[in-house]
Structure 1
Amino acid sequence: MEELDVLIVGAGLSGIGAAWHLQDKCPGKRYAILEAREAIGGTWDLFRYPGIRSDSDMFTLGYNFRPWTEQKAIADGPNILRYVRDTAREGGIEQHIRFRHKVVDASFDSTTARWTVTADTPDGARRFSARMLLMAAGYYSYDNPHNPHLDGEERFAGRIFHAQHWPQDLDYRGKRVVVIGSGATAVTIVPNIAREAAHVTMLQRSPTWMVSRPAEDRLANALRRILPPMMAYNLIRFRNVVMQNLVFKRARTRPETVNARLTKMLLKELPEETVKAHFQPRYNVWEQRLCLVPDSDFFDALKAGRASVVTDHVGHLDEAGIVLKSGERLDADIIVKATGLRMQMLGGAGISVDGVKVEPNERYVYRGMMLEGVPNLLYVFGYFNASWTLRADLTCEYACRLLKEMDSRDTPVAVPVRTVAVEDEPLLLTSGYVQRAKDVLPRQSSTDPWRDTQDYLRDRKSIRHAPLDDGVLQFRKPGPVTATVPPAAPVKALPLAEAAE
């Protein structure tokens, strides 16, 4: 069994970043990365649908230690994948990755203060031992997307599949395509395949808030011509963080104003009757994730007649396409389900402490990165209202601070322990994929530190500078970990949204 200081799970954007921070801030620590697939990149290697891109700017989706130097701020998947892999290669991280190692079980022994992790490999089960477990496996299942069965699906004579499993041999040239969904995946696919397909229809159950912005950031590109790369990167990164934060908070305090502003922007892109029929959601901006349209490509495809939007529900499928509940029909040669993700925690692995199974939805989140009563485990879970990597970087920095503190105190156990009752707070977003996961995600309260603040500027100050010994996080010698407060009442989740993603 391989003995390590830190075991990182996942070799995607988060896992590679975690390794870089660990090498930089805790040199000499022994670590390995376990990756279930055969390649570096996570999401950016998995998704292969046409036009795959970021829906956040790369000045905030990029790492805080490595500047993004490409011209486009809204980057395509291959460029993001190259950025992640270049980081791994240049940092000497590749040699620490164990590919085709899928973590299935992790158990913490309080008497030894170590995690024992079991991974399935082509050569059978393999075990690892580590002081700290850092889960960087993302927030959704790579194998099982949200793929609802449609009545009559087996009768359809064409091809039907989920966008997460895009067939590499698919030829959509001259074909009629229906994309079911209205989130980031659908809005990316539609304009990209509309260039060659006979026609593409986006079928949505209900509208999604969308906003266009240029794929290139002119100010960023100008600053990079006159300033060192890292200086320009940090300036634009800070500007974007502040702007995102202001817009989100205004959407929370003045939703009608922000809704009206986005509607006005949509009216500059599309005819009024189109906006009223298909682009006026029943929810407020940032109650679900805002859908980005770079360079208005989706809107341009609609105006050119290469694509269209239908707002209706699927009734059933027949040999030639989809019969809607309204009685109308959409003939199709290809049907793409862009129906969303299936969220999971901790890479889907089973977690236990001293033989007792840990159910994340029965534990409160600590600072958005640990679970109450679970020692020496951190997990990366990005922001819903901002770029994923903003939180990933902070989580990895915190892990390094924690390791150093444990070493200085000579206490091998760090565990958040809740000793007071707290009140549950509903999940942040009403998005379907979030609400479907209410029985999977950790609980959060309305009070610190048992919540996920979704506020990067606040988190940055707290995670980097607040004392680790806050009266909740306990540093201990080896020994049993017990909570003094019984489990709380069931979480009161918000109503399930009707959005496809």
Structure 2
Amino acid sequence: MTQNHFNVIVVGAGISGIGAGYYLQKKCPNKSFVILEGRDNIGGTWDLFRYPGIRSDSDMNTMGFRFKPWMGVKSIADGPSILSYLHETVKENDLNKKIHFNQWVNEASWSSRDSQWTVQVENKKTQELQDFTCDFLFLCGGYYNYEEGYTPHFAGRENFLGQIIHPQKWPKNLDYKNKKVVVIGSGATAVTIIPTMAEEAAHVTMLQRSPTYFLSAPDEDPVGNFLRKFISSKLTYKLVRWKNIRFQWWFFQKCRKFPKKVKEFLIKQVREALGPNYDIETHFTPKYNPWEQRMCLVPNGDFFNAINAGKASVITDHIDRFTKKGIKLKSGGEVEADLIVTATGLNLEVCNGIKLEVDNNEVDISKTMTYKGMMFSDVPNLVATFGYTNASWTLRADLTSEYVCRLLNFMDKKGYANCCPRTAEHVEPEGDWLDFTSGYVKRSMHKFPKQGSRDPWRNTQNFPKDVLAIRWGNIDNKELKFTALEN
């Protein structure tokens, strides 16, 4: 074997890849592995995004790793604190020696004859190409294009005299003090940026096409902070983690079963925050049901506080074009701006944008079906991590890493070299990868695998069910075909 052969190659050193490294080291100590990271630092999202106010939109008791308690007082944490937590995890588990930086994976080709993947890697500093080989490929590079965010076409963009910035490419030391800012979008990024920018900007306007649901909550967990006074932080973390998991699941089920009642509750909360004279119907009453799109968390009501203080405002309208001074609206009005922030979303990618081949045939992932939400029909020895949309990403990432380790150990025990999901004849594609109506999801679903008509060909957004199926369920399955290495 060459020096660049490993039992497992992990792609990505963000929250998923770091978790994968931990589990491989702990559960599969005899397996050699490497983590290939395309950038020059760990952290993924939490190192890439540098916009004002960046924070988690899930509580850290569920977004943190199962194996490493979150020790911060704030359960809704800022980006630098999360990045520090990830660095601690890497250091405590001596994972630095496993991570190769500036290693961008372009393509991967599976050979059934050799029972291995050949992975083409580009050094981002030298542009040199190098091949790695592995028995198992574990994709943990997230779900969106790191190079470029999504920006729709805006007529007249070239006429605007101020700056136009996408949050994914935030300039260092950007000065927006006393400037008029327009933030296009009403998702989690916009709602995070606006309260922080409003502290120094002359005024910040959120310009949205349609409203979003908001849920206001404290950034500290009072139960966790109370328990920590009497019991260990480790036990507190476990208890609060399960409390929050249960709440997330309960609330999601309420949204699906009783959408009208939940909608009334959420709108009432906004009305109480902004007062009876605010036009809640226009700006904060979505036409879709709760959790058909991701809900925006407002810690301590900071977004509403900025509006009440007169430092921020909301306009619900469509953009006609950019002008020299700002944005002309379809309704005829114009919003003046010195700075425009296009918080218009991400470009979703499947399999980290890597070109995949199986026996010299290019794989079209959109023609496959998902197996347990992590493997693809007729693609051997490959798992891709994709977290939850209705709960914290890391809950699913942890489960996926645990499953990979169980799978590898099962294959070793049985003498298998390959595993490959194969659909039965009576299993038909039935529905998109995600049952979600957000624009950034809908415009990319054609790239993703389909769900099947039954388990295990469903992308389950159900953590309790997944715990049973993925953490404790049988690895051996008639629709996961195993073969031994031929002599």
Match of 1:258, SS state, is helix
Rounded Cα–Cα distance in structure 2 between residues aligned with 1:441 and 1:423: 12
Q: Which amino acid letter does the alignment assign opposite residue 54 of structure 2? A: I
Give 1:423 shift. 4.1
- Aligned match of 1:443: 450
Give the Cα separation in 2 of the matches to 1:267 and 1:237. 30
Q: CA deviation at 1:265?
A: 1.3
Counterpart mapping for 1:230-241 below 5 A: 230-241=234-245
State the secondary structure of the residue aligned to 1:268: helix
Q: 1:18 aligns with which of 6, 17, 20?
A: 20
Aligned-partner Cα distance in 2 for 1:89–1:125: 29
Q: CA deviation at 1:134?
A: 0.4
Aligned to 2:389: 384
Structure 2 CA distance, aligned partners of 1:84 and 1:284? 35
Alignment equivalent of 2:482, drawn from 472, 475, 483 = 475
Structural mapping, 1:300-449, within 5 Å? 300-420=305-425, 421-426=427-432, 427-449=434-456
Aligned residue runs from structure 1 range 97-496, under 5 A: 97-121=99-123, 122-123=125-126, 124-272=128-276, 273-420=278-425, 421-426=427-432, 427-478=434-485
User: What are the Cα deviations for residues 189-246 of structure 1, in whole angstroms up to 9, with x where unaligned?
Assistant: 1000100100000000000001100000011111122112221111111111111111
Task: Name structure 1 gaps, 5 residues minimum.
Answer: 480-501
For 1:23 and 1:438, the matched residues in 2 are separated by 34
Corresponding letter in the other structure for 2:166: H
TM-score normalised by structure 1 residue count: 0.94
**DSSP 3-state at the match of 2:108:** strand
Match of 1:393, SS state, is helix
Could you tell me which residue of structure 2 aligns to residue 32 of structure 1? Answer: 34
Give the letter for the 1:428 counterpart. D
- Conserved 8 A contact 2:259-2:289: yes
Runs (5+) with no aligned partner, structure 2: none
Percent identity of equivalent pairs: 48
Structure 1 residues 6-85: aligned runs within 5 Å: 6-85=8-87
1:485 aligned residue:
none
On the 8 A contact 1:133/1:377 being kept in 2, the answer is: yes
How many residues align? The count is 479
Match of 1:497 in 2: none
Q: Secondary structure at the match of 1:226?
A: coil
1:384 maps to amino acid:
T
1:5 counterpart residue number: 7
1:274 Cα deviation from its structure 2 partner: 2.6
Deviation, 1:129, is 0.8
TM-superposed CA distance for 1:126, in Å, is: 1.1
User: Does the 8 Å CA contact 1:367/1:448 hold for their aligned counterparts?
Assistant: yes
The separation in 2 between residues aligned to 1:168 and 1:468, in whole angstroms, is: 48
- Residues 74 and 294 in structure 1, CA contact (< 8 A), matched pair in contact too: yes
Alpha-carbon offset, residue 469 of structure 1 = 1.1
- 8 Å CA contact 2:369, 2:429 repeated in 1: no
Residue 495 of structure 1 corresponds to which residue in structure 2?
A: none
Whichever residue aligns with residue 139 of structure 1, its letter is: Y
Q: Provide Cα deviations, 1:312-352, integer angstroms capped at 9, x if missing partner.
A: 01111111111100001100000000000000011111011
Check whether the contact 1:209–1:291 (CA below 8 A) recurs between aligned residues. Answer: yes
Write out per-residue CA displacement over residues 56-95 of structure 1, whole angstroms, 9 at most, x where no aligned residue. Answer: 0000000000000000000000000000111011100011
Secondary structure of 1:126's counterpart equals: strand
For the Cα contact (< 8 Å) 1:110–1:478, is it kept in 2? no
Partner residue, 1:492 = none
CA contact (8 A) 1:382 1:392 kept: yes
Structure 1 residue matching 2:229: 3-state secondary structure? helix
Q: Deviations over 1:413-433 (max 9, x none)?
A: 011110223241243110011
1:465: how far off? 1.3
User: Is this contact kept in 2: 1:203–1:311, CA < 8 A?
Assistant: yes
Q: Which moved more, 1:145-154 or 1:303-312?
A: 145-154
Aligned AA (1:33)? I
SS in 1 for 2:447: coil
Take 1:90 and 1:41, find their aligned partners in 2: how far apart are those partners? 15
CA distance in 1, matches of 2:47, 2:275: 37
Question: What is the TM-score when the length of structure 2 is the normalising length?
Answer: 0.97
Distance in 1 separating the partners of 2:339 and 2:360: 49
| RMSD of equivalent CA atoms | 1.0
1:282-307 Cα deviation digits (max 9, x unpaired)? 10000000110011000000011000
1:258: how far off? 1.0
Shift of 1:149: 2.2
Aligned counterpart, 1:489: none
Give, in angstroms, the shift of residue 169 of structure 1.
3.3
Of 211-220 and 441-450, the range deviating more from structure 2: 441-450
How many angstroms does 1:478 deviate by?
4.1
The CA distance in 2 between the partners of 1:352 and 1:274, in whole Å, is: 54
Give the letter for the 2:411 counterpart.
M
Tell me how far apart the structure 2 counterparts of residues 129 and 319 of structure 1 sit (CA, whole Å).
Answer: 53
Partners of 1:474 and 1:220 in 2: how far apart? 45
Give the whole-Å Cα distance in 2 for the aligned partners of 1:275 and 1:230: 42
Instruction: Kindly state the Cα deviation for residue 445 of structure 1 after the two structures are TM-superposed.
Output: 2.3
1:86 maps to 88
What secondary structure does 2:279 align onto?
helix
- Aligned AA for 1:434? V
Q: In 2, Cα distance between the equivalents of 1:281 and 1:119? A: 45
- Partners of 1:423 and 1:92 in 2: CA distance: 43
Distance, in Å, in 2 between the alignment partners of 1:130 and 1:451 is 28
Counterpart-to-counterpart distance in 2, 1:312 and 1:92: 51
